[in-house]
Amino acid sequence: MAMDSAKDSKIKSIHVLVGKTSGILPYYLNKYYTKAVEGTPLAGSELICEEVPVKALCEECGKEYFPDKSNRYLCPNCGGKRAKIIEGKDIVIKSITVED
Which residues on adjacent β-strands are paired with residue 58?
Answer: 83
Tell me the mean pLDDT in the region 42-51: 96
Tell me the mean pLDDT in the region 36-62: 96
Number of domains in the chain: 1
Tell me the mean pLDDT in the region 35-57: 96
DSSP 45: P
What integer pLDDT is reported at residue 3 of this predicted model?
44
Q: What angle do CA 27, 70, 62 make, to 5 degrees?
A: 95
Contacts of 96 (CB under 8 A, 6+ apart): 11, 13, 14, 15
Please say whether the beta carbons of 96 and 9 come within 8 A: no
Rounded to whole angstroms, how far apart are CA atoms 94 and 58?
Answer: 27
Q: If you average pLDDT over every residue of the chain, what do you get? A: 92
pTM value is: 0.78
Domain region containing 77:
2-99
Which residues on adjacent β-strands are paired with residue 19?
Answer: 52
CATH number at residue 18: 3.30.2320.80
